[in-house]
Amino acid sequence: MQSVNGDIAIRLTRFPTATPLLRLGLYLAMLIPCIAHAETAALEFPTDVDELVAALESQLEVGEFEDAAQQIESWLATQDRDGYDLSLAEPFMLLGDARMGMRDPVGAIEAYDRARHITRLSKGIQGIEQLPILYREADAFSALGDDATANDRQEFAFGISRREYGADDPRHMIGTYRLLHWYRHHYKYLAAHVLFEQLLEISREHLPAGDPLHLRMLREHAQLFRHRVFGRRTIGRGRFLATPPGLLPHRYRQNVSSFREGRNALAEVVEIQESNALASDGELATALLEYADWHLMFGDYPFAVRHYRRIWDLLASDPERRTRLFGQPTPLFLPLPSDPGYRLRRVGMHRDGIVHLALTVTHRGHVIGSKSLEVAPRSIMEFRVRKAAKRARFRPAFREGQPVKVRGHPLRYTYSY
């Protein structure tokens, strides 16, 4: 650049009468070739595909989706190799990731489809190398609202994993859990239940007793049925038929008892913690609390209170946690209404409303009365909030190890309109 700048200085001396603005324009015009040369050097791509992939993954991690997409497209345009070379599969997959980050699921599907086609030509139609691409395609179709096609991708990936590893292989647990989570999200509870049973059988056989992963799956199994009974559904989800590959239809279409399945899962957690010499009183108290709450939600008050008293005794050395759990009524089921003005809130064209009630909660966890402390504006949500509070189920407050009635328990609900 020194020789270039020197040459510029010599040329400018040839225009002694030029105005300062003209001299500046000439200077910038002479710099353009240097700038263009620098930009060309910056656009040089790594010759190794692995280096390119690592650089692109770093860009995607920090959210530079547009830059990553442009770089991949430019790199793909420079490739003179066979358009179906296996080394191109990962760049196409990352291009799909970049387009998903740009909220372009249609473009992402095009890139994923190319990546999957390349992989299948090299590794076969049932090759496990296409699993990451299938899961990405499922996310893209779901973003478009095409849950049926997304479900086809999820189930196809599950079938490939099952065929490759076998139904009882721990390596198949990841594929099983992915499909299970998909079904649970779309209210396919019975199909998810059957997959949970498979996962638990594998974990009992291959994981040590008391393994955190096994305890987590037991708790999630119970949560599945809790959501089935007490959860709130989102309109539009689950408009497809769940047919897990390799499973007989009668297994996931028969009805099951939500209470019994959840109870058995949480009872196993309690049994594991009781038999684990390394488990602390706090861990056992957590397992018992989940077990007691389950029975209270389904109306078995005597069983729940008996276990609450045991928890009270276990936490004698931790009065702070005991107060946190039993100092005030704790909502276990509180079906408050949806925010009526959530669409207005998104665009900032809303007003805030409030319903502030004082509830009377019995020693059994039922709400038998409510008093309005603050309602603004009136006649919009007060009746619906009172109705929801009436249906609520609370873990009762305890005093000296005994459940008690509490008057004036606050319930504050804010909304937009």
The CA distance from 33 to 240, in Å, is 59
**Mean pLDDT of the region 169-193:** 92
- Reading phi first (left if > 0) and then psi (alpha if -120 to 50, else beta), residue 238 is in left
**Mean pLDDT of the region 253-269:** 90
> What pLDDT sits at residue 295?
98
Residue 25 has pLDDT above 60, yes or no: no
Structure-token match 């957690």, residue found: 269
Structure-token match 């770093």, residue found: 58
How many other C-beta atoms can be found within 10 angstroms of the C-beta atom of residue 403? 21
**Mean pLDDT of the region 223-235:** 88
pLDDT band at 2; cut points 50, 70, 90: very low
Peptide bond into 245 cis (omega under 30): no
* Closest listed residue to residue 12, CA positions, set 1, 25, 3: 25
50: helix, strand or coil: helix
At position 329, the amino acid (one-letter code) is P
- Cross-strand pairs, 295: none
Instruction: Classify domain 330-416 at the CATH class level.
Output: alpha beta
> What pLDDT sits at residue 154?
97
* Closest listed residue to residue 272, CA positions, set 194, 204, 195, 221: 204
pLDDT in tens, 106-128: 999 999 999 999 999 999 999 99
The CA distance from 204 to 76, in Å, is 48
Torsion of CA 301, 304, 309, 312, to 10 degrees: -130
Residue 59 has pLDDT above 80, yes or no: yes
**Of the listed ranges 76-85, 178-187, 218-227, 380-389, the one predicted with least confidence:** 76-85
pLDDT in tens, 236-252: 777 898 988 887 665 65
> What pLDDT sits at residue 344?
66
Q: What are phi and psi of 411, to 5 degrees?
A: -135, 115
> What pLDDT sits at residue 250?
59
**CATH code linked to domain 18-165:** 1.25.40.10
Average pLDDT, the chain: 86
> What pLDDT sits at residue 35?
36
* Closest listed residue to residue 200, CA positions, set 230, 178, 179, 220: 220
pLDDT band at 47; cut points 50, 70, 90: low
Instruction: Extract the runs of DSSP E, i.e. beta strands, from 296-366.
Output: 330-333, 352-361
**Mean pLDDT of the region 218-234:** 91
> What pLDDT sits at residue 247?
78
Going from N- to C-terminal start, the domains of the chain cover 18-165, 330-416
Ranked by mean pLDDT, the top range of 34-43, 91-100, 234-243 is 91-100
226-259 as b/e: b if 16+ CB within 10 A: bebeeeeeeeeebebebebeebeeeebeeeeebb
**Of the listed ranges 5-9, 266-270, 309-313, the one predicted with least confidence:** 5-9
**Mean pLDDT of the region 204-211:** 88
**Mean pLDDT of the region 267-282:** 94
Measured over the CA atoms of residue 190, residue 192, residue 197 and residue 200, the dihedral's sign is negative
pLDDT band at 343; cut points 50, 70, 90: low
Which residues have a Cβ under 8 Å from the Cβ of 392 and sit 6 or more positions away? 331, 333, 334, 335, 367
Structure tokens at 284: 């056992």
How many alpha carbons fall within 13 Å on the CB side of residue 417? 12
Q: For the chain, give the number of residues.
A: 417
pLDDT band at 156; cut points 50, 70, 90: very high
7: helix, strand or coil: helix
**Mean pLDDT of the region 47-75:** 90
> What pLDDT sits at residue 10?
37
pLDDT band at 254; cut points 50, 70, 90: low
61-98 as b/e: b if 16+ CB within 10 A: eeebbeebbebbeebeeeeeeeeeeebbbbbbbbbbbb
At position 142, the amino acid (one-letter code) is S
Residue 80 has pLDDT above 80, yes or no: no
pTM higher than the cut 0.75:
yes
pLDDT in tens, 3-16: 444 443 434 344 44
